[in-house]
Structure 1
Amino acid sequence: MDDGDFAFQPGNPPLTYPRYSPVFHRLRLPAAASATRLRRPIHSMRKPQPDLIAFSLLLLSCALIAWTGTAGPVFAESFWTGLEDWQTSIAAVIALLAAYLAARPVYRQLAEQRRQSAAAAVSMIVKAAVSLEEERDIIRKAVDDLRIDRLLWEYDELSWHDIYSSWPEDAFGLMTVCDTALRSVRLYAERNPDASATQRCRVEAIAALEQLRAGLTDLVTIMRQQTSGLSYEEGEEDIPVKEHQTRRQEVNVKDERWRIAAHGLDIALSMEIANVWRRIRQLESIAIGAFE
């Protein structure tokens, strides 16, 4: 009976062997081998990568083409003799298949880049849409605030000596509204220098506001000229009396021009806003992969 048999006899005390002992290695070898098998990498059983498959097919097609050009048909004088006329075509098909498999990761990467670009563009275009909406709100507020019907009625119907102190203040308030709207519209026009329908409407609205403000200034000058007097030392000048009625009628024309220009700008902005939001929705669909 050897040492190994004695070690496994019932009732015998367990034996301790040094690591250099042959018995130790004989007893430990199965466990070590089992552990080695358990520690075998899982990735060794994975399927080959598409890039490796594509490269293999491409290499096979090149080999077939090279063989056909140097040694003649691969299937000549064999059971597959009938295929010798198709060897080049088969190699071409294999090459196309390899190219397709190799291009698939590239297409996926391009699609992912397209989604990322769309997502990045959405945030920028949303800011443009919000800016257009803010501009439209400014125009609409200016239209609501620049209602001069009552002011003109007081100018035409009431005694100037009763309103000469309050009426100019009301007119100056409307001129302040004009100045505020002009600053905003000019700023938007500077930010969008390219020629477009919306930009043309901005230019027209700016010109109409400037004329309306000038018309209100003329009426204030005429009233002060006839009542409290002008500040000639500050450079104010009289308006000839024969032009008073003409200047008053021109204000009606200028007010109508402003309202038409504001309405046109409102429509142009609304159309541009709708187009921008339509583009945003398209980019959002691309970003979430709806078009893939």
Structure 2
Amino acid sequence: MSQFFDLFAYSFFQNAFAASILISLLSALIGTYIVARKNVFISGGITHASFGGIGIAYYLGLNPFLGAAVFAVLTGTSIEWITNKGKMREDSAIAILWSLGMALGIIFVFLTPGYAPNLMSFLFGSILSVGRSDVLLIGGLTLLTALFFLLAYRPILYTAFDPEFSSINGIKVTFYRYSMAVLVALAIVVSIRAMGIILVLSLFTIPQTTALLYTHSFKRIVGLAALFALSGALIGLYVAYAMNIPSGAAIIFVLTLQYLLLKGIDLLRLQRRRNTAE
């Protein structure tokens, strides 16, 4: 254990620790909104579609994360537009853009001349490779998201649960839905660096699902999700260090175990209540 704490003397681990805290807070806010919309796969759709931006950026010789950000924002806003204007079901729009993004990414990576890029860091992430600039970027986006939630909490909440009722009551549903689509997309992209494309969906879903075991209040879900995400991230970092395994996978594994353990305790508590009632 003492050897683990000795790692805090290194800047790379300090960055990983700071990124864990910030991503936990960011995923708590964004993930709770996604769960409130009852469509957690919107994050999966945006995440996998962003691979198209990575492939195109590689082909054009640009920063792959810039390409991912542009593609993620376009995907998030396109899902909103297709659902509202194109009269298509949201899950259908997600499936189409998910598949299209992955296909474009594979095609352009294949067409990239010269040495084929190593895509493992994008697929599985590496929180230990997060730099100071990445931490500042994640921190800036977390602050921006938190401010937006503070200033527009009720409109965000209402448009997530019932956009038709919100529109009748004069709330600018289009503005808030598109704004949240952009924030969701950017949150996913900055999290890819740490968690990878394959694991980001879990980060924006598991802590919120765990929080739902104890409350259905939006504010309380955010708080509990942040707590569960942070504890899972820190324990996951320790497990990754102790077992010498990828940190992103370790964090998701710990978050899953955390949910299963608390779900089991909840089921036992319910069973005891039933036995007492009988």
TM-score by length of structure 2 reads 0.22
- Higher radius of gyration, 1 or 2: 1
TM-score (norm 1): 0.22
